Structures are given as structure tokens and as C-alpha cells.
Amino acid sequence: MVRAPLMSLDEAIALVLAQAVREPMAPEWVSTFEAQGRVLAQALTSELDVPARDNTSMDGYALNTRDLAQWPDCAPLKVAQRIAAGAVGLPLQMGEAARIFTGAWVPEGANAVAMQEDCELLESGGLRVLKAVSPAQWIRQQGEDVRVGQEVLRVGERLNAASLGLAASVGAHQLCVAKRPRVALFSTGDELVMPGEVAPGDMLPGAIYNSNRFFLRSLLISLGCTLTDYGIVPDRREATQDALKSAAQESDLILTSGGVSVGEEDHVKPSVEALGTLHLWSLAMKPGKPFALGEVRAGDGAGERRAHFMGLPGNPVSSLVTFLILVRPFLLALQGATQVQTKAFQMQAHFDWPRADPRQEFLRVRRNLQGGLSLFDNQSSGVLTSCVWADGLVDNPPQNPIRHGDWVRYLPFSELGL
Amino acid sequence: MVRAPLMSLDEAIALVLAQAVREPMAPEWVSTFEAQGRVLAQALTSELDVPARDNTSMDGYALNTRDLAQWPDCAPLKVAQRIAAGAVGLPLQMGEAARIFTGAWVPEGANAVAMQEDCELLESGGLRVLKAVSPAQWIRQQGEDVRVGQEVLRVGERLNAASLGLAASVGAHQLCVAKRPRVALFSTGDELVMPGEVAPGDMLPGAIYNSNRFFLRSLLISLGCTLTDYGIVPDRREATQDALKSAAQESDLILTSGGVSVGEEDHVKPSVEALGTLHLWSLAMKPGKPFALGEVRAGDGAGERRAHFMGLPGNPVSSLVTFLILVRPFLLALQGATQVQTKAFQMQAHFDWPRADPRQEFLRVRRNLQGGLSLFDNQSSGVLTSCVWADGLVDNPPQNPIRHGDWVRYLPFSELGL
């Protein structure tokens, strides 16, 4: 048997992303309250300056520095008014100061604020300024955060809490974002049992619990997808095709785990092939390797709706890592996100990994107290404890042995959405 | 006016955490499907080995290496059976091999697996093994991931997708986690306007949009809190007290933003003081500084329920950073999380920050393509665009000027839950 050459991961990622951007998700308007994690589909431009006017960043006294020209020997200022945040003061007259509170607009005629701690209120009611004041001191300039007409959020940005705050600060109560991808999740494998259905002590020989379904659901939901869990694929061809067709009708992506290895015999591969197209790849990736990309038509008509199809390996760690490295960028690209790849950190390996592998490896590692990376002792693709222990992956190129102290590419799970 | 010494951030964090652990959240059982982001309240111990038995990590042929002793000149093996994942094979006889698929249990009598790519199926039906096979090859050992009795998830772990997968793999369909903290969110400030209620062009002088509410909601929800948004604090003392009492009845934490500066006059401070206790701190932190910690009693009885109270500064960036540095650890500690502080990265500053500040500073920075950190050009605490542009904070000690090339403590937003 001739071994086919493995496909490089870079090539696979490029093909996956090309399929995603061919037909991106349509836009929709959502409340800014609900937009976390969504990808912006229409730029947000401000219709106002933020702050709208010069205002004070301190509690204190608004004044004009010309009145303090002879400081420290100048006459006390007359405290003529009191301006709370939200209130608008009167123009300041020569020799006057205004009591003012953080955020309040600086009144006309004032050009600086003296902190209250730097002032003394005299019994006469006058104000003595105890410290030199320079023009513009403690004043936030109009438009220093945002200017009228400024694009504050760009198309393709994935919105986090700060983005929502910024959108709100320019008065946007709704944002135009890409629709949530609808994902149909299938599990394959006759050996799979759902936790809760059979107690550990009653498991039949050969049976294993379906763990992939749990982390895939969780990852998909974190990515903002709407999930339909189809459970375990039925073990008859016709039923499988019906389930796939129905999923293609109502989903943007059909995702399976298991059933895509060369030797495996299940109904998913032939069913997808019958309903659309399927490419089975052997990726130069470890953990990982088998991966399927394709499309499923909802029916036989020429204009029928099609859903993307992706098949992950069945091994838990392979499935998890392949999701993070291929499916996640796909789902972000499908939403039009500008940044679909995780920014890596350069970190020092505090371990040896002498056996270079011909495949690109993703080693489960954890940052240690010495500022380096420690390696989980069992890197087998079946060992899910490695992913719970780890806080990220080392992305190690093919044929690259690692020596203690080498700088490596580290991808934190937090950046991968885990 | 004498300036009170500022409280160090370390001291404030210690006091905040001490208040959190005094009375942690009660535990509850939830479906493993729903447990993402929750903190484990009862350790999870496995009742089974994972894998339950030796199994194959490859599609191929299970065999016994004693039958290949004369390899490459040994006789072809007889392919006596076919074992799919989930099926249980018969004991292997001398001179036999079993066709076997990834995940399937290795039959009794077999001690290795030959990859199908390394075998040739002869026309006679016999199997020739084309490559030397060593004992235990391509076999995943029973219990290599998890052993019976092993603690797979520890009390205080915050559960991510991988943890849920691991829990499922040992058959746990429910997990005992800390209850979600219930948080009552108040905004204070007469100047605040909700986006959508007034168009940017119609904003009255002095009015600003309430942006803090948006990012605080988003951050609280990401932390797994149940949120009740009380909106803007009523501007009468009695109404404020009633709202606080009612919030204390049904919440674990009452969180406000704005209204805790020394000079500010709103109804929250006196109301909290009337209903419980309130400590107003000036923190050696920038952005930040004003911060309030206290408790609110739901009523006058001795055994009345009390809610924690935390007051954030009103400036958006101050409010956001103070949340990340103080409130987030508090809410994690309240749930019994072991790790409440964010693990920092050591990164190189690609900027100068010559003016050392007496306060501990949190600079908004972004990782650049050169592997260093770039600084946002306006570090004012009112400039929320800095937090959207940035991907993390530099945690800079008091009195510490930074020079281009210095190593600094970098806290990525992704690790801070933003």
C-alpha cells in the first residue's frame, strides 16, 4: 500500500478559509447589549465628539490661570458656582473659580482645574490655590477619545466588552454584525455512550463515553454559533442521508467527529459524497491527521441550499486541536472576521522534545512559575487530561526537535477560545 | 487639605479576597453540558480506566509479534476476524491477525498493531507485514489517560471545554459547581443617558452616554454571573435605599460605577452607609483610584441577608481596569476558584514611558509583529478607544519608568476575560 503524501497544515488552512469566505454570513442588527463575541459587518462611525466638550478629570476648582499670574501671592478666588457632572455652568468671570466635579464640563472662561487637595477654602469663602496650576491641567479635551466622523469600530472586528462600551459611548444602541453561524453537530461511532445513560460500572465492553460532543458544543457556543446537536449518527444509510439533508437545510456548517479515517466504515462519508462533495485529507498535523472538508446539498434541485461540511478525527485530543486550528478560523472567517489566526507568543521551552516528527506538532504545555513552558508527560492523542492540565499549545514545525531553552511558538488556550 | 496616603493595590486585593472567601457561594449540581466557566465545588474522581482496555490508535492489523519473529521472512498471517470500534474480538490464535479500526479493543493474544499502510493483503487472503513491528506498537494502554480512583478535576478549577470533555469521558453527566454569583448592577450619575433613548445630535449639554453599563454587563456575564441590571440609581435618598435593600435581598454583590470619588455627592454612599458598611479607598492605581468596598443589609433584623458592595470609579477606563483587577478576582474567589489572579507574561516594551508614576499603572498596549508591546498613544483614563485598540495591559510598578527594550509584566485581555 502506497502512503499518500500528507497535506501541509498551511495548505489545509488556506483551503478551509477559501471555502469560508466564498459566501460569508449575512449581516443583521442586534442590540449592543447582545453583541459580545459577534463580528462587526458595518463600520461604526461616531456622530459626536467624546468627550463632547472639555471637562474635568478631577474633583476640584475650575479657574483661569491668568487669575493666578502672581501665584503664590495672588488674591483668593471667589467660588461663584458649583458644577456637578451633567450640569452646565455659567461663564467664569475674572477672579472667579467654580467648584467642579469629575466629568463636569469646564465652564466658559476657565482654562484649568486645580485639584481640591491643592486648594484651601478660606473662612471668608474665598479660595486659595496652594500649588501652581498650568493651563489645561486636569482638563480632558473635547474629542480626545473620539472625534465626529471617526470610525470607532471596523468591519471584521470581533466585539468584546470594551468594544460594546465604546459603541455605547457614541450612542450606538444597535450594531450591524454577521449572523451567528448555525452549526449541526453529529457524533459518529457505535461505541459511543452518553454520560448519564449508562453508569461507569455498567459500561459494556468496547463502549466509551462521548466526550467530544461536550467540548465541541462548548467551543461552538463560545464562538457565538447557534448549535443544533443531532446526537449520534443513525446507523442506516438512508437515515443518515435524511439527517444530513435536514441539517443542510437549516445549518451553515455540519460538523462531525469520528468517521473520517481512511479505514473507517460508517455512513457519513458515502452519504456526504452522495449529497454533495467530500475531500478526505491526511494532514501533516499531530495530534490530528484525518480531516474532511466538503459540502452537503439540502436537496437535488440546482438552486438547493448547501451547508459546509467538516469532519474531525475521533480521538479527543485530535478532535479538540483540529477544531482549534481549522474549524475555529473557518467559523471566524465565515463571519467576516479580520483576525482569524491566533497571535502566538515566543516562549522558552523548559523541556526537551528530541524526537522530531515529520508532522507539525501541537504539544500540550503549561506556563510555569519560571516564565517558561512545561510539557505534559503524555502527548498521546487519546489523553484528554493533557488538555485540562495544559494552558496552551506549542506549535512546533515539522522535523524540529526542541531543546531545553529553545524559543518556541506558544498558543495560549485563552486566545484560542478554550 | 491633607492628602491621605493611597492604599497599595496589593493590600486592596488582599482585603477584597478576604471578604470574598468569608462566605463562598453554595454548591449546586448542573449538567456537564452547562458547566462551562463554572468553578468546581466537589472533586471529580473517575470510577473507570480511560481507555478501559488496551486499544489501537491506528487502523491496521492486531497481531502478536512472536508470529513475526523471523521477519521479514515469516509466513503470511491469517486474517481471522475484523474488529470495529465498539466491537469485542475473539482471542487471537497463533499465526493470526485481526483487521482492526482505530479505537477498537485489541483482542486477547495480540500485543501490537501494524498500520494498514505497512501491510499487504495477499490474493490468498493472507497478510504480509512489510515493516518490523515492535511490541506495544500503536497500542494505547488501558488507563493511560485516567485510572480508576484518579481525581480528574479538582475543587476550585474553573471548567473549560476540555474539562467538560474530560468529565464526560469518565461518565460524569453532572458536576457539582459553585452557584453563579447574582450581581445587581447600578449606574450612578445624572449626566448618564442610555444609547437609543437620545440620538447623538439631540444630546443635551453635559449629557454623556452610559458606556460602563455595557462593558460591565458583558464582563459579568462572561464570568458566569446572573445579572440584574437596576439601571440608573434613583435621585432620591429613600428610593435609593429601597433599591439597595431589594438588591441586597436577591444578590450576592451590588456593583456600582461612579459616585465613589471623595467629592462626589450622590445617594449611594450615604445609603450604603445607612444600610451596612462602606469603606472608601483611594488606591495607588492608575487608571483607577477611587474604590469602595462594603456590605448592604437587606433589612434591619440581626439575621438579615447581606450583599457585598463594590463601587467602581466612573471613568470608563478606570471602571474597566478596576473591574478586571479587583472585581473579577473577587467574583472568582467567591466561587471558590483556586486561581483568581491572571498569570502575566514577560514581554519586551517597544516604547518609552519615562514619567514614573507614584501609582501602580496599567498601560494599554498591543502585541506587535516584532514580538514586543506597542503603547496606545493616549493613556488618559477617559479614553476608551485605548481598550479597544489594546489587547492587554502592562502592569507597571509604582515609580518605575520604562525604557524601550525593558521586560515588563503583560496581562493579555484574553486571560482577563475581556
* Closest Cβ opposite residue A57 in set B208, B378, B382: B382
Q: What is the pLDDT of residue A264?
A: 57
Kindly state whether residues B34 and B173 are assigned to the same domain: yes
Question: Is the bond leading into B91 cis (omega within 30 degrees of zero)?
Answer: no
A360: CATH: 2.40.340.10
Question: Are the Cβ atoms of A384 and B166 closer than 8 angstroms?
Answer: yes
Which residue, B280, B314, B334, sits at the end of a domain? B334
d(CA B116, CA B62): 10
Question: Are the Cβ atoms of B161 and A53 closer than 8 angstroms?
Answer: no
pLDDT tens for each residue of A371-410: 999 999 999 988 999 999 999 999 999 999 999 999 999 9
- ipTM score for this prediction: 0.93
Kindly state whether residues A276 and A193 are assigned to the same domain: yes
Residue B406 lies in a domain: yes
Chain B residues touching A36 at Cβ < 8 A: 218, 221-222
Q: Given the C-alpha cell 493579555, which residue does it identify?
A: B412
Residue B1 lies in a domain: no
Residue A184 lies in a domain: yes
Chain B residues touching A87 at Cβ < 8 A: 190-191, 206
pLDDT tens for each residue of B112-168: 999 988 999 998 889 999 999 999 999 999 999 999 999 999 999 999 999 999 999
Task: Give the largest CA-CA distance in chain B.
Answer: 101
Q: If pLDDT is split at 50, 70 and 90, which confidence band does A232 have?
A: confident
Q: What is the pLDDT of residue A1?
A: 41
| Structure-block grid coordinates of residue A174 | 444597535
Task: Return the DSSP state at A98.
Answer: E
Q: Which residues contact B302 (CB under 8 A, 6 or more apart)?
A: none
List the one residue out of A33, A165, A143, A84 whose CA is nearest residue B207: A84
* Closest Cβ opposite residue B105 in set A206, A320, A415: A206
Q: What is the pLDDT of residue B258?
A: 83
| Mean pLDDT for the stretch of residues A214-241 | 91
The answer to whether the CB of A308 falls within 8 A of the CB of A244 is no
The fraction of chain A above a pLDDT of 90, given in percent, is 79
d(CA A330, CA A309): 11
Q: What is the pLDDT of residue A4?
A: 66
In sequence order, what are the beta bridge partners of A353?
A402
List the one residue out of A223, A192, A407, A211 whose CA is nearest residue A333: A223
Mean residue pLDDT of chain A comes to 93
d(CA A85, CA B232): 14
Question: Are the Cβ atoms of A172 and B195 closer than 8 angstroms?
Answer: yes
pLDDT tens for each residue of B53-86: 999 988 899 999 998 888 777 889 999 999 987 7
In sequence order, what are the beta bridge partners of B231?
B186
Ramachandran assignment for A143, one of left (phi > 0), alpha (psi -120 to 50 degrees), beta (any other) = left
| Mean pLDDT for the stretch of residues A10-39 | 96
- Closest chain B residue to A348 measured between Cα atoms? B346
CA dihedral B65, B68, B69, B72 (to 10 degrees): -140
Chain B residues touching A387 at Cβ < 8 A: 162, 165-166
Residue A4 lies in a domain: no
Kindly state whether residues B221 and B329 are assigned to the same domain: yes
A129: CATH: 2.170.190.11
Q: What is the pLDDT of residue A261?
A: 63
Kindly state whether residues B368 and B249 are assigned to the same domain: no
Chain A residues touching B145 at Cβ < 8 A: 378, 380, 382-385
Residue B273 lies in a domain: yes
pLDDT tens for each residue of A301-313: 777 889 999 999 9
Kindly state whether residues A238 and A303 are assigned to the same domain: yes
Q: Spell out, as residue ranges, where chain B has pLDDT lower than 50.
A: 1-2
Residue ranges making up the domain that contains A210: 9-25+180-334
Q: What is the pLDDT of residue B259?
A: 74
A163: CATH: 3.90.105.10
A198 has a pLDDT exceeding 80: yes
Kindly state whether residues A207 and A230 are assigned to the same domain: yes
Kindly state whether residues A201 and A109 are assigned to the same domain: no
Residue A313 sits at φ, ψ, to 5 deg, of: -65, 160
State which H helix or E strand residue A167 sits in: helix A161-169
Kindly state whether residues A121 and A184 are assigned to the same domain: no
* Closest Cβ opposite residue B214 in set A50, A164, A222: A164
- B112 CA: distance to closest CA in chain A (Å): 16
Predicted model pTM: 0.94
Q: What is the pLDDT of residue A263?
A: 56
* SS (HEC) of chain B: CCCCCCECHHHHHHHHHHHHHHCCCCEEEEEHHHCCCCEECCCEECCCCECCCCEECCCEEEECHHHHCCCCCCCCEEEEEEECCCCCCCCCCCCEEEEECCCCECCCCCCEEEEHHHEEECCCCEEEECCCCCCCCCEECCCCCECCCCEEECCCCECCHHHHHHHHHCCCCEEEEECCCEEEEEECCCCEECECCECHHHCCCCCEECCHHHHHHHHHHHCCCEEEEEEECCCCHHHHHHHHHHHHHHCCEEEEECCCCCCCCCCHHHHHHHHEEEEEEEECEECCCEEEEEEEECCCCCCCCEEEEEEECCCHHHHHHHHHHHHHHHHHHHCCCCCCCCCCEEEEECCCECCCCCCEEEEEEEECCCCCEEECCCCCCCCCHHHHHCCEEEEECCCCCECCCCEEEEEECCCCCC
Question: Are the Cβ atoms of A170 and B209 closer than 8 angstroms?
Answer: yes
Chain B residues touching A265 at Cβ < 8 A: 84, 101
Q: What is the pLDDT of residue A262?
A: 57
Question: Are the Cβ atoms of B346 and A371 closer than 8 angstroms?
Answer: yes
* Closest Cβ opposite residue A48 in set B200, B384, B388: B200
Q: What is the pLDDT of residue B64?
A: 95
CB pairs under 8 A between A and B: 333
Which residue, B309, B334, B359, sits at the end of a domain? B334
Which residue, A302, A334, A366, sits at the end of a domain? A334
Q: What is the pLDDT of residue A399?
A: 95
The fraction of chain A above a pLDDT of 70, given in percent, is 97
- B300 CA: distance to closest CA in chain A (Å): 33
Residue of B102, B121, B212, B223 for testing the chain A interface, max A β-carbons within 10 Å = B102
Task: Return the DSSP state at A283.
Answer: B
Q: Which residues contact A55 (CB under 8 A, 6 or more apart)?
A: A103, A104, A105, A106, A139, A140
* Number of independent structural domains in chain A: 4
Kindly state whether residues A307 and A253 are assigned to the same domain: yes
Residue B91 sits at φ, ψ, to 5 deg, of: -55, 140
Question: Is the bond leading into A107 cis (omega within 30 degrees of zero)?
Answer: no
Residue of B215, B223, B389 for testing the chain A interface, max A β-carbons within 10 Å = B215
| Mean pLDDT for the stretch of residues A9-20 | 97
* Closest Cβ opposite residue B145 in set A144, A343, A382: A382
| Structure-block grid coordinates of residue A200 | 461507569
- A162 CA: distance to closest CA in chain B (Å): 6
Residue B417 sits at φ, ψ, to 5 deg, of: 80, 15
pLDDT tens for each residue of A91-124: 999 999 999 988 889 999 999 999 988 999 998 8
Residue B340 lies in a domain: no
Kindly state whether residues B75 and B199 are assigned to the same domain: no
Question: Are the Cβ atoms of B385 and A166 closer than 8 angstroms?
Answer: yes
| Structure-block grid coordinates of residue B94 | 497463533
| Mean pLDDT for the stretch of residues A274-282 | 93
The answer to whether the CB of B35 falls within 8 A of the CB of A217 is no
Question: Are the Cβ atoms of B412 and A415 closer than 8 angstroms?
Answer: yes
Q: If pLDDT is split at 50, 70 and 90, which confidence band does A200 have?
A: very high
Q: What is the pLDDT of residue B263?
A: 56
Q: Residue B69: exposed, middle, or buried by beta-carbon count in 10 A (0-12, 13-18, 19+)? A: exposed
Q: Given the C-alpha cell 459518529, which residue does it identify?
A: A188
Integer-rounded Cα Rg, in Å, for chain B is: 30
Chain A residues touching B32 at Cβ < 8 A: 195, 214
Beta strands in A287-391 (DSSP E): 290-297, 306-312, 345-348, 360-367, 373-375
List the one residue out of A409, A412, A413 whose CA is nearest residue A346: A409
Residue B35 lies in a domain: yes
Q: What is the pLDDT of residue B5?
A: 83
Residue of B175, B208, B338, B365 for testing the chain A interface, max A β-carbons within 10 Å = B208
A191: CATH: 3.40.980.10
pLDDT tens for each residue of A341-364: 999 999 999 999 998 899 999 999
Residue A167 lies in a domain: yes
pLDDT tens for each residue of A173-189: 999 999 999 999 998 88
- B162 CA: distance to closest CA in chain A (Å): 6
Output the DSSP codes for A180-203: PPEEEEEE--TTEE-BTTB-GGGP
Kindly state whether residues A203 and A171 are assigned to the same domain: no
Question: Are the Cβ atoms of A346 and B146 closer than 8 angstroms?
Answer: no
Distances (CA, A) of A264 to A193, A228, A269, B232, B242: 19, 25, 9, 60, 66
Kindly state whether residues B377 and B405 are assigned to the same domain: yes
